[in-house]
Structure 1
Amino acid sequence: MAITKRAASDPRARIGPLVFGTGGPGLSGVNHVAKADQHLSPEILRRFDIIGFDQRGVARSSPAVCSNSLLAQQPSPVPADEVGYAQRISFNHRLYDNCRAHTGPLFDHVDTGSVAHDVDALRAALGERRISFYGVSYGTLLGQAYAERFPDRVRAMALDSVMDHSVGTATFLRDQAAGVEDSFDEFVAWCGRTGSCALHGRDVGALYDNLMRRAETGALVDPGRGAGLSWFDLSRGTFGYLYGPDWPGLAGWLDTLDRSTSPSAEGAWKAPEAGTAPSAPAPGPPVTDEVTQHPFPVFCQDWSLPVDNHAELARYLDMSRDTAPHLRVSVGAVVPTMFCAGWDGRVHNPQHRLRVRTSVPLLLINSRNDPATPHRWAMNVADQLGGKGRLVSYEGAGHGAYLRTPCTVGHVDRYLIDRRLPSVGAACRAAAPPVQPAVASRDASSAPPAGPTWSGARS
Structure 2
Amino acid sequence: MKKSFVTLAVAVAVAALAPAASAAEPEPLTWEGCAPAPMECTSIEVPVNWAEPGGRKIRLDLVRLPATEPARRIGSVLGVPGGPGADGIKDLRMAAPDLRELGRRFDLVGYRPRNTVWRENMPAICKKPGTAQAAAMTEAFRACRQADTTGLFAHLDAMSVARDMEAIRAALGEERLSFMADSYGGVTTVAYARLFPERIRAMYVDGVVNHAADWNEQALRHHDLNERQFRKFVTWCAATSACALHGEDAGAVWRALLRSADRRPLPVTSPEFGKGEMSGWHLRQLAFVSDPGPRDANWLAFARLVDRARRGDASGFVAWPNFRVWAMPGALAMTCADGRGFADYAELRAYRRAAEKALPNLGSVRTDGLGCTGWPVKAVNPPRPLPAEGLPPFLGAGSVYGDLAWTETLTRMIPGSVSVAYQGRGHALYLSGKKCPIRHATTYLTELRLPAPGTTCPAE
TM-score by length of 1: 0.72
Q: Do the aligned partners of 1:394 and 1:430 also contact (CA within 8 Å) in 2?
A: yes
More off after superposition, 91-100 vs 194-203: 194-203
Structure 1 position 97 matched with structure 2 position 142 = yes
Structure 1 position 27 matched with structure 2 position 92 = no
Q: Does the residue aligned with 1:107 lie in a helix, a strand or coil? A: coil
Structure 2 equivalent of residue 305 of structure 1 = 341
Q: Which runs of 5+ in 1 are unaligned?
A: 78-87, 284-291, 432-459
Q: Does the residue aligned with 2:83 lie in a helix, a strand or coil? A: coil
Deviation per CA, 1:336-367, whole angstroms, max 9, x where unpaired? 21231143322222211222534631111122
2:422 to 370, 394, 401: 394
Q: Does the residue aligned with 1:295 lie in a helix, a strand or coil? A: helix
- Please give the residue correspondences for 1:416-435 in structure 2 after superposition, counting only pairs within 5 Å: 416-431=445-460
Report percent identity of matched pairs.
Answer: 29
Q: 1:179 to 1:104 in 2, by over 3 A?
A: same
Structure 1 position 5 matched with structure 2 position 63 = yes
| 1:192 positional shift | 6.1
| 1:385 positional shift | 0.9
CA distance in 2, matches of 1:326, 1:361: 38
CA distance in 2, matches of 1:186, 1:47: 43
CA distance in 1, matches of 2:382, 2:111: 23
Structure 2 equivalent of residue 341 of structure 1 = 373
Q: 1:401 to 1:232 in 2, by over 3 A?
A: farther
- Equivalent pairs, count: 394
1:231 to 266, 280, 283: 280
Structure 1 equivalent of residue 130 of structure 2 = 74
CA distance in 1, matches of 2:93, 2:213: 34
CA distance in 1, matches of 2:305, 2:141: 37
Q: Do the aligned partners of 2:125 and 2:144 also contact (CA within 8 Å) in 1?
A: no
Structure 2 equivalent of residue 145 of structure 1 = 191
Q: 1:6 to 1:305 in 2, by over 3 A?
A: same
2:383 to 347, 351, 359: 351
- Read off the aligned partner of 1:208 and give its amino acid letter: W
CA distance in 2, matches of 1:305, 1:261: 30
Q: Do the aligned partners of 1:147 and 1:358 also contact (CA within 8 Å) in 2?
A: no
1:327 to 343, 356, 362: 362
CA distance in 1, matches of 2:362, 2:339: 24
Q: Do the aligned partners of 2:265 and 2:279 also contact (CA within 8 Å) in 1?
A: no
CA distance in 2, matches of 1:30, 1:417: 22
Q: 1:95 to 1:210 in 2, by over 3 A?
A: closer
Deviation per CA, 1:137-178, whole angstroms, max 9, x where unpaired? 111222222233222322221001121223445424422221
| 1:220 positional shift | 7.1
Structure 2 equivalent of residue 156 of structure 1 = 202
Structure 2 equivalent of residue 82 of structure 1 = none
| 1:193 positional shift | 6.7
Q: 1:220 to 1:42 in 2, by over 3 A?
A: farther
Q: 1:222 to 1:255 in 2, by over 3 A?
A: farther
Q: Do the aligned partners of 1:67 and 1:98 also contact (CA within 8 Å) in 2?
A: no
TM-score by length of 2: 0.72
Q: Do the aligned partners of 1:167 and 1:351 also contact (CA within 8 Å) in 2?
A: yes
Deviation per CA, 1:99-141, whole angstroms, max 9, x where unpaired? 3332465433332123222211211111111211101011122
Structure 2 equivalent of residue 85 of structure 1 = none
CA distance in 1, matches of 2:444, 2:145: 42
Deviation per CA, 1:396-442, whole angstroms, max 9, x where unpaired? 334333446432222222212222201012122334xxxxxxxxxxx
- Read off the aligned partner of 1:41 and give its amino acid letter: L
Structure 1 equivalent of residue 28 of structure 2 = none
Deviation per CA, 1:236-273, whole angstroms, max 9, x where unpaired? 66534x24635722442354346548556xx775975x
CA distance in 2, matches of 1:201, 1:175: 31
- Please give the residue correspondences for 1:249-268 in structure 2 after superposition, counting only pairs within 5 Å: 249-257=297-305, 259-260=307-308, 263=311
Q: 1:103 to 1:245 in 2, by over 3 A?
A: same
2:116 to 41, 54, 59: 59
CA distance in 2, matches of 1:112, 1:46: 31
CA distance in 2, matches of 1:223, 1:305: 29
More off after superposition, 129-138 vs 214-223: 214-223
| 1:47 positional shift | 4.2
Q: Do the aligned partners of 1:173 and 1:320 also contact (CA within 8 Å) in 2?
A: no
Q: 1:196 to 1:230 in 2, by over 3 A?
A: same
CA distance in 2, matches of 1:248, 1:353: 39
Q: Do the aligned partners of 1:108 and 1:346 also contact (CA within 8 Å) in 2?
A: no
| 1:19 positional shift | 0.7
Structure 2 equivalent of residue 447 of structure 1 = none
Structure 1 position 294 matched with structure 2 position 330 = yes
Q: Does the residue aligned with 1:386 lie in a helix, a strand or coil? A: coil
Q: 1:95 to 1:19 in 2, by over 3 A?
A: same
Q: 1:348 to 1:255 in 2, by over 3 A?
A: closer
CA distance in 1, matches of 2:286, 2:309: 19
CA distance in 1, matches of 2:228, 2:196: 36
Q: Do the aligned partners of 2:66 and 2:107 also contact (CA within 8 Å) in 1?
A: yes
Structure 2 equivalent of residue 441 of structure 1 = none
CA distance in 2, matches of 1:95, 1:224: 19
- Read off the aligned partner of 2:172 and give its amino acid letter: L
CA distance in 2, matches of 1:205, 1:338: 26
